[in-house]
Structure 1
Amino acid sequence: MYMLNMLKTTFLLLCILLEVCTKETPQDFISKFNKYNSVCQGMGYKTMNCSEKEKNIIAFHTLLSKRQENLGKSTVVVFGNVLLNTGNAYDGTTGKFTAPEDGIYSFTWTILTQPGKYFHTEMVLNGHIISYNYVNGVSGNSHYSSGSSSAIIKMKKNDKIWIRTYGDGKFAYENWSSFSGFKL
Structure 2
Amino acid sequence: MERRLMKNEKILLDLTISCNAEHRKSTINRQQDDKKTMPSSNKTSTNAVTEFPSQNGSPNASYQGRLSIKNEAQDLFPKRQMSGVVAFYVYLSSTEPSPSVHHTIIFDYVKTNTGEAYNRHSGMFTAPTDGVYVFTWSTYSDHHGVIYTEIVVNSDVIGSALSDSINVNAVDAATGNIVVEISQNDVVFIRTNSIHHGTGDILSYPRYRTSFSGWKLV
The verdict on a shared fold, with TM-score over 0.5 as the criterion, is yes
Q: CA deviation at 1:50?
A: 3.6
Between the two proteins, the alignment pairs up a number of residues equal to 137
What is the RMSD of the two structures over their aligned residues, measured on CA atoms?
A: 1.9
Give the secondary-structure state (helix, strand or coil) at the position aligned to 2:137: strand
Q: 2:202 aligns with which of 162, 172, 184?
A: 172
Query: RCO greater where, 1 or 2, for CA within 8 Å and sep 6 or more?
Result: 1
| Structure-2 residue corresponding to 1:81 | 109
Counterparts of 1:165 and 1:123 in 2: how far apart (Å)? Answer: 9
| Structure-2 residue corresponding to 1:181 | 214
Q: CA deviation at 1:86?
A: 0.1
Q: Please tell me whether the aligned partners of residues 113 and 171 of structure 1 are also in contact (alpha carbons under 8 angstroms).
A: yes
Opposite residue 171 of structure 1, the aligned amino acid is D
Opposite residue 66 of structure 1, the aligned amino acid is S
Larger CA Rg, structure 1 vs 2: 2
Counterparts of 1:158 and 1:148 in 2: how far apart (Å)? Answer: 25
Opposite residue 120 of structure 2, the aligned amino acid is G
Counterparts of 2:188 and 2:133 in 1: how far apart (Å)? Answer: 10
| Structure-2 residue corresponding to 1:59 | 87
1:56-108 CA distances to partner (integer Å, 9 max, x unpaired)? 11000011122112211111001111100000000011001000000000000
TM-score w.r.t. length of structure 2 = 0.59
TM-score w.r.t. length of structure 1 = 0.70
Opposite residue 139 of structure 2, the aligned amino acid is I
| Structure-1 residue corresponding to 2:183 | 156
Counterparts of 1:156 and 1:144 in 2: how far apart (Å)? Answer: 37
The question of 1:113 aligning with 2:152 is answered no
The question of 1:100 aligning with 2:133 is answered no
Q: CA deviation at 1:55?
A: 1.6
Q: Please tell me whether the aligned partners of residues 121 and 164 of structure 1 are also in contact (alpha carbons under 8 angstroms).
A: yes
Q: CA deviation at 1:168?
A: 3.4
| Structure-1 residue corresponding to 2:118 | 90
Give the secondary-structure state (helix, strand or coil) at the position aligned to 2:97: strand
Where structure 2 has 5 or more consecutive residues not aligned to the other structure, the ranges are 1-9, 15-77
| Structure-1 residue corresponding to 2:67 | none
Structure with the largest fraction of strand: 1
Q: Please tell me whether the aligned partners of residues 79 and 92 of structure 1 are also in contact (alpha carbons under 8 angstroms).
A: yes
Q: CA deviation at 1:147?
A: 0.5
Q: Please tell me whether the aligned partners of residues 80 and 95 of structure 1 are also in contact (alpha carbons under 8 angstroms).
A: yes
Consecutive aligned runs of 4 or more in structure 1 exceeding 6 Å deviation: none
